[in-house]
Chain A
Amino acid sequence: MIRDITLGQYFPGESWIHRLDPRIKIVGTLAYIVALFIVGDFWGFLIAVAALFGVIGISRVPLKFILKGLKPIFIIILFTFVLNLFMIPGKVIWSFWILTITEEGLYTAFFMAARLILLLLGSSLLTLTTRPIRLTDGIESLLSPLRKVGVPAHELAMMMTIALRFIPTLLEETDKIMKAQQARGADFESGNILRRAKSLIPILVPLFISAFRIAQELAMAMEARCYRGGRHRTRMNAMKLEKRDFAAGLLLVAFVAAIIAERILL
């Protein structure tokens, strides 16, 4: 079921992490991802894991809920692990038929998988603790310096806002159309691929028409409410950095410093 996917979902809460400015969380997540690629040994990973679990602890999002989001990606992680395990040349430690495992392979496979898992957990923590709408606000604000070089920051954020708003509406619409066509005897389950692809036409055509209708009506409603792009526009929740955001910033700098120091010194 579509509603069972937790990846990218928001987990409502009032924790310190939830209340942080979305910009600091986006920057933090990006820094964390970069850090994961700087890290190259066990101690480095230990710092990264400790930092992640520290943040998870403060956010009070249940670990089980976060891990559930990993499920659909598990196959990809396993695939990368196996690929690395068998493909890297080096000192052979085990061999059978055409399969050989090398010390370097084991090492890379392990760290690659760890990196991917941490990356996914780290970035899902961003969406779990930030309302989608705050997230788009944050992205708009972070991208706004790039407006001078022609990046349409406001437009991108507005598109994301509208997409978020209409995903449930369009899912509902799809469900309705599917049921209506089934009632007319449409069969989506049997037949070969070609037949099944063809059976999608009675769903896709009405769905596109609905989407166009929605877009047209929405555009008119937005115009009626004086929408004229990003200029002159103010925001109800103007983003202001609070004490806790500066504290989070300091912690972030400390984390990155620790990772770099570990890399250089050890």
Chain B
Amino acid sequence: MAEMIDIQDLVFEYTRDENQEPVSAIKGVSLKVEKGSFTAVIGRNGSGKSTLAKNINALLLPSRGAVYVNGYDTRQEENVWDVRQSAAMVFQNPDNQIVSSIVEDDVAFGPENLGVESKEIRTRVDSSLKAVNMWQYRKKAPHLLSGGQKQRIAIAGAIAMRPECIVFDEPTAMLDPKGRSEVMGIIKELHEDGITVLLITHFMEEAAQADRIVIMDQGEIALDGTPQEVFRQAEAIRDMNLDVPLTVELGYRLRDRGLSVPDTIMNMEEMVEFLCQYK
């Protein structure tokens, strides 16, 4: 399979004040994301995960190393629009990424910028709004919608650009549980439809739904693997002050107390199944 995103020894530095030493937010990260995959990047605030996302969208450019998106080098100025069209981005705050006071006009914003023809924009807007179940709200004003609905509008705005990949930068951090599950549902559907998903989050239960989890800590990749592989390192995860799913935590605690509970139990169903063997 081809690579959607190829990050090579990325270093990102910034200076707070003029006279200060540069601070590195990312200290040498290499990461390849395959087309059609669903990868979660998880880490604490300040771990560098959001900076990484912005480097993928050419909103920030590497200090050293390189980022290739769909083969385009983000450092080449002429590639910027191809990079952003290939890998669209959805941000954390549902309010501050909606441009227009009418839902459908907002979804049209991306394709309009890309110079797509009017009729085609209309088709894309309608199909994107239907994909996030917000078509019936197309004439509404965004400020009257709930957080989850606004975030779905933002996702529709990204889909309308027909990207191959969408980078979600903590899309559920400001939502209530209902909004959170709405948005996660849409993300999973998009992945099933073939879109490459890169989900930046600090919720482990969301990351657990991905095919691959990358844990970032202090600007570096600390763990990288399938959820099973990563959760087997429960102790390391806890040392980085991140949560593990409840069943993984329980398995870990029980093993600690001398019971040989398998470390492959990832969710509640599997835990109950395991328990039932000892009825």
Taking Cβ atoms with an 8 Å cutoff, the residues of A that contact B are 131-133, 161-162, 164-165, 168-169, 172, 213-214, 217-218, 220-228, 232-238
> B91, A217: Cβ atoms under 8 Å?
yes
| B150, chain A: closest CB distance, angstroms | 11
- Report which of B88, B118, B158 forms a contact with A234, defined as CB distance below 8 A: B118
B125 in the interface (beta carbon within 8 A): yes
B97 in the interface (beta carbon within 8 A): yes
Interface residues of B in 117-159 (CB under 8 A from A): 117-118, 121-122, 125, 141-143, 154, 157-158
> A238, B141: Cβ atoms under 8 Å?
no
> A220, B101: Cβ atoms under 8 Å?
no
> B115, A233: Cβ atoms under 8 Å?
yes
Known: A218-B96, A224-B57. A133 touches B102 (CB 8 A): yes
Q: List 7 A-B contacts (CB under 8 A).
A: A169-B95, A217-B93, A221-B91, A221-B99, A234-B116, A236-B108, A236-B121
Known: A133-B101, A165-B142, A234-B115. A226 touches B95 (CB 8 A): no
Chain A residue numbers with a CB within 8 Å of B154 are: 221
> B113, A162: Cβ atoms under 8 Å?
no
> Considering the complex of A and B, which 5 residue pairs feature the smallest CB-CB distances, nearest first?
A221-B97, A217-B96, A236-B108, A168-B143, A236-B121
In Å, the complex CA distance between A224 and B110 comes to 9
Chain A residue numbers with a CB within 8 Å of B101 are: 132-133, 161, 164-165
> B97, A226: Cβ atoms under 8 Å?
no
| A131, chain B: closest CB distance, angstroms | 7
User: Which residue from chain A places its CB closest to the CB of B54 in the assembled complex?
Assistant: A220
In Å, the complex CA distance between A131 and B105 comes to 12
| B96, chain A: closest CB distance, angstroms | 4
> B118, A236: Cβ atoms under 8 Å?
yes
User: Which residue from chain B places its CB closest to the CB of A215 in the assembled complex?
Assistant: B96
In Å, the complex CA distance between A223 and B125 comes to 19
B181 in the interface (beta carbon within 8 A): no
User: Which residue from chain B places its CB closest to the CB of A228 in the assembled complex?
Assistant: B113
Known: A217-B96, A217-B97. A225 touches B113 (CB 8 A): yes
Chain B residue numbers with a CB within 8 Å of A222 are: 99, 109
Known: A214-B95, A226-B161. A165 touches B114 (CB 8 A): no
Chain B residue numbers with a CB within 8 Å of A162 are: 99
| B49, chain A: closest CB distance, angstroms | 16
- Residue with the highest number of chain A CB atoms closer than 10 Å, among B81, B99, B108, B142: B99
> A161, B122: Cβ atoms under 8 Å?
no
